[in-house]
């Protein structure tokens, strides 16, 4: 007998605002759409609606304190781990600020800080608070981190002012949550291999040829893929980044080592995303110790490294293959050539000389190049680029690929 699919769990955070009563409607709407709802309330929220209301509506215990029943699992960790999506509605300016700055002083904010699940915020506050520079800056910080916002509506507010700040329509919030829940399962059963970071091609025991890749883009892609339910292996060149949560990470140094690691995973892979900045050349000979300055040749002989993507494309066998084209100047023409020559489904092209794009920064400005045409994206956080890329890979997979 087959196991029934797990019902998705949404953690509903409720903060202190007059819109808290609408969170009751949101809980019911999410349940109508087939989701379990566990509610976490701040102290201020309980001044507007009682925990009993949500417990009655959802049939689930309501979290109100870090010091809930001490005989149970650490509550904020268990909630963070089991949530498919966390939505905070209404979300006050105070909670936006705390989440933006990593302040975790109650059950709700500690849960958000501990989770790997998508986070959706539906702000509600006075117009002047919403427009204040501090709130605008905090919202921008969270957007850059991949937090989703359901914009507040305009109209007459509880205080009598007229303008932006009303909690968004419950249906609009539920639609956003439902889309995010669907994303968390969109790649279930799909095996994804991601390469990231630079390679180092040794000249001697001390020196190497390499590049300035930080690995951030590839790591963001690996994290986003696992967040959508994929089984992800990350083959990483040398970086200072920690291993992504939920991802199997294999550390390598050289292009040859990266190819060997990818080859080991290739047989079971459905999707390969080659985001690594693989060195194109390596020294033709390597010295075991340190090459003395006085003994160094006037010219350094180089040889080409293996072309990992071309090797994979030659034995594609129905897999989805995605490459990157990092160029100095307009990268699109080069990307189109690589797309055909290497038998790829999609190339992410970017100009590494453009401010806010390329290596050693948290943002990127890319163009997706495929057989269907080119799609230029604005400058955005690399996590947002990863999200856009995985959306397109899902579309390719739905088209009947492996």
* Cα–Cα distance measured from residue 99 to residue 106, given in angstroms and rounded to the nearest whole number: 11
* Contact present, 279 and 201 (Cβ < 8 Å): yes
Beta bridge partners, 12, equal 39, 87
Please give the Cα distance from 211 to 36 (Å, whole number): 47
Provide the b/e sequence for 48-75 (b: ≥16 CB within 10 Å).
bbebebbeebbebebbbebebeeeeeeb
- Nearest CA to 224 among 130, 117, 327, 318? 117
- Name the token pair of 394: 């899902």
User: How far is Cα 135 from Cα 48, in angstroms, rounded to an integer?
Assistant: 23
Note whether 197 and 277 are within 8 A (CB).
yes
Task: Kindly write down the DSSP assignment for every residue of 341-400, as one continuous string.
Answer: HTT-SEEEEEETTSTTSSTTSSEE-EEEEETTEEEE--SEEHHHHHHHHHHHHHHHHHTT
Burial 227-254 (b: 16+ CB within 10 A, else e): bbbbbbbbbbbbbebeebeebebbebbb
Closest CA to 164 of 174, 173, 152: 152
DSSP tally for the chain: helices H, then strands E: 13, 21
Cα–Cα distance for residue pair 240/244, rounded to 1 Å = 12
Catalytic residue, from 24, 91, 159, 379: name it: 159
Active site (annotated) includes residue 91: no
User: Distance between CA atoms of 237 and 229, rounded to whole angstroms?
Assistant: 24
Q: Which residues are catalytic?
A: 159
């Amino acid at each position: 007998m087959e196991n029934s699919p797990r019902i998705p769990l949404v953690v509903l955070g409720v903060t202190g605002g007059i819109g808290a009563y609408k969170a009751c409607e949101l809980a019911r709407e999410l349940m109508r759409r087939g989701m379990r709802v566990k509610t976490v309330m701040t102290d201020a929220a309980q001044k507007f609606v009682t925990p009993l209301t949500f417990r009655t509506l959802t049939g689930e215990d309501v979290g109100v304190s870090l010091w809930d029943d001490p005989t149970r699992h650490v509550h904020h960790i268990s909630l963070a781990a089991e949530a498919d999506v966390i939505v905070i509605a209404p979300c006050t300016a105070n909670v936006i600020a705390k989440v933006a700055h990593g302040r975790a002083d109650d059950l709700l904010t500690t849960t958000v800080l501990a989770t790997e699940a998508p986070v959706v915020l539906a702000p509600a506050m006075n117009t002047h608070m919403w427009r204040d520079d501090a709130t605008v800056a905090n919202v921008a910080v969270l957007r850059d981190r991949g937090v989703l916002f359901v914009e507040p509506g305009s109209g007459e507010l509880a205080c009598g002012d007229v303008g932006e700040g009303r909690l968004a329509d419950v249906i609009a919030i539920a639609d956003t949550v439902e889309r995010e829940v669907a994303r968390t399962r969109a790649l279930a059963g799909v095996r994804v291999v991601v390469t990231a970071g630079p390679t180092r091609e040794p000249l001697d025991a001390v020196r190497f040829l390499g590049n300035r890749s930080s690995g951030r883009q590839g790591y963001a892609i690996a994290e986003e893929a696992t967040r959508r339910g994929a089984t992800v292996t990350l083959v990483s060149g040398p970086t200072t980044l920690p291993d992504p949560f939920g991802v199997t990470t294999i550390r390598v140094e050289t292009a040859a080592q990266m190819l060997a690691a990818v080859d080991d995973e290739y047989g079971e892979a459905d999707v390969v995303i080659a985001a690594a900045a693989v060195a194109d050349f390596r020294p033709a000979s390597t010295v075991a110790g340190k090459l003395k300055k006085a003994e160094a040749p006037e010219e350094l002989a180089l040889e080409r490294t293996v072309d990992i993507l071309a090797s994979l494309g030659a034995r594609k066998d129905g897999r989805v293959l995605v490459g990157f084209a990092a160029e100095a100047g307009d990268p699109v023409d080069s990307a189109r050539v690589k797309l055909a020559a290497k038998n790829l489904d999609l190339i992410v092209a970017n100009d590494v000389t453009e401010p806010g794009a390329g290596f050693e920064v948290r943002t990127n400005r890319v163009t997706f190049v495929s057989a269907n045409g080119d799609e230029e994206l604005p400058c955005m956080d690399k996590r947002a680029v990863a999200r856009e890329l995985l959306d397109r890979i899902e579309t390719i997979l739905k088209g009947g690929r492996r």
